[in-house]
Amino acid sequence: MQVFAIRRLPVLFSFLSLLALLAVGCGGGGSPKDVVKGFCEAGKKGKDGVDELVGFMTKKAGEGYKGLMEMEEDEGLTVIKYELGEEKIDGEKATVACKLTDKRGDEEREEALTFHLKMEDGNWRIWGVQPEGKDKPEDFEELADVVKEMKEKMKEMEEAKKKAGDG
């Protein structure tokens, strides 16, 4: 019986390794740099990559970002290329430097960014991004609250418009 179990170890190890790779590839873990890489790769798909992209963000930040993309009338931003720089980890927080070229419509731009991450449910997740020269990061988690308010206001306006049309 022990011989059978020992022979099965390589199969079990291969299976567990595959699961670990899948988890990292789907935003399930890895280093902060791995998470930013996954985010940027998903960003290459433009709006088609939004569901994958938010998997690399904190839950609240992902809700805000996805809500904003749903409100966009154009194709939104598409990542053209990126180069990851220094990763700094300080306990439950981390930053990753990145040079990113993106495109909206016909306009391309290149900027130096610092991604801000924190631990959420045991995994690194992006909560904000700080363009070079800015004093503080743009907080995607705050964006969730703003998007929620905007959607509520739009709904109120639609309801008021319907009532005005009925009267």
Number of domains in the chain: 1
Q: What is the dihedral of CA 42, 47, 51, 56, to 10 degrees?
A: 40
Q: Tell me the CATH number at 42.
A: 3.10.450
pLDDT tens-digit profile of 131-151? 999 999 999 898 877 877 777
| Token duo for residue 142 | 């705050």
Q: What is the pLDDT of residues 55-114, one digit of tens each?
A: 999 999 998 888 877 776 666 778 999 999 999 999 999 999 999 999 988 899 999 999
- Quick check: is 148 in a domain? yes
User: pLDDT grade, residue 118 (50/70/90)?
Assistant: very high
Q: Could you tell me which of 114, 137, 116 has the C-alpha nearest to residue 127?
A: 116
- The pLDDT, as a whole number, for residue 73 is 64
Is 128 within 8 Å of 140 (Cβ atoms)?
Answer: yes
pLDDT (0 to 100) of residue 160: 80
Distance CA 112, CA 107 (A): 17
Measured CA distances, 152 to 30, 69, 140 (Å): 36, 16, 18
pLDDT at 74: 60
CB within 8 Å of 154: residues ≥ 6 apart: none
pLDDT in tens, 10-33: 332 222 222 232 333 344 469 999
Residue 26: how many CB atoms within 10 A of its CB? 12
In this structure, is residue 2 part of a structural domain?
no
Tell me the C-alpha to C-alpha distance, in Å, between residue 54 and each of 16, 88, 134, 140: 25, 22, 23, 11
Q: Is residue 18 part of a domain?
A: no
Whether residue 8 lies inside any domain: the answer is no
Structural domain of residue 45, as residue ranges?
A: 28-166
